[in-house]
Amino acid sequence: MDPSHTPEETAARNEPTSPSVDNSNRCCFVSLGEQERDEIATALDQGLLSKDWAPEEFGTTDFYDEAEVSEGVLPLSARSALAELRRGELDAVVVRGLPHDDVKDVARNDEPGGRIAPARGHAFISTVVRRLGFEYSYAKEKDGALVHDIFPTHSGAATQSNESWKVDLSLHTENAFHPLRPDFVVLYCVRTPKAPPATHLSQLRDILPRLTDEEIEILREPRFTIKVVDSFLSGGEESVRLPLSILSGCDRTPTVRWHENIRGTDHSAENAVAAFSAAAKAAAQAVRLQPGDLLAFANETCLHGRDKFDASLDGADRWLLRSYVRRDLTQLQPFVVSSQPRAIRMDLSARAVD
């Protein structure tokens, strides 16, 4: 997997005139050269983005539909890697050096001065989502938005959330507490500090060899509980812990649900939690996202986290776009309403796990 990038390596990656592909350890890195990046920018600006999209039109199903038709704007190397991710042959794909928006001195969408949206960022994240499946959201997270603006805030500084920056964001699977979780998570870097924080990826296939057979057997049993994250208790609901098994699936292709707030229901289970946490940290490797970099990963086989970083909270801090992907939306239908057909609404205190 790709190591952390030094400033010299970051500059060097812009030198090649043709794309390079590093496919190792079930994580594929596609690096674009300057010439290809320019060709992609031209095709995008003359195609999908030639329409005068209003800021509120980005992150809608209509825009996703248009982006899906424009999938050919992505280089073949990226499309091939994403197809392997969709088929389960890879755990993560990083596309480096996509065209990006000039937002160095532009406030975020929530800042005074008017709503803005990084058009190229929305174009690429929407195209990649539809390459993998379908976009969806949660009614209690980011107000049901299909694309999330991820940036540091005052209130979230020291929390285990996407708004944190004073603390490391621990390794986890996205929404591990929820019975309906993303198959894939897609991140696109809009803006980053001069010293970008490392995003950590830990693949289950690298974690399991660090555990004993007994520990793996315990992790497959429903001897654990997980806390519902605060963002899903926004209506004043009582905090609850839900039962789960950390490992599921067959021995050949196991899946994982993980968060650092998971607890065992007995002494042996607690020891297994500690062993899994240590193994996940030992297996993690770092990727430093720069503007124009896109990361997509399989949520059931790849944990992710992030280092702490400096933030000024002046509207010029690190900024990512994020979207959730499901291969099949059929399971969502009992939990959505006609006015927001892709936003899951359900009472987690009443419905625990699958």
With residue 272 as reference, give the H or E element that holds it: helix 267-283
Q: In the sheet that 169-172 helps form, which strands lie side by side, from edge to edge? A: 169-172, 302-306, 198-203, 285-288
**E strand map for 118-213:** 134-138, 148-150, 169-172, 184-191, 198-203
Q: Give the pLDDT of residue 9.
A: 36
Beta strands in the chain (DSSP E): 20-24, 27-31, 92-96, 134-138, 148-150, 169-172, 184-191, 198-203, 224-227, 241-244, 247-248, 255-256, 263-264, 285-288, 294-298, 302-306, 319-326, 343-344
pLDDT at 159: 87
Looking at residue 247, its amino acid is L
Give pLDDT, residue 108. Answer: 55
pTM: 0.90
Sites in the chain below the pLDDT cut of 50: 1-18, 112-114, 351-354
CB contact set of 352 (below 8 Å; sequence gap of 6+)? 179, 242, 243
Q: What burial letters (b/e) apply to 85-111, b meaning 16+ CB within 10 Å?
A: bbeeebbbbbbbbbbbbebeebebbee
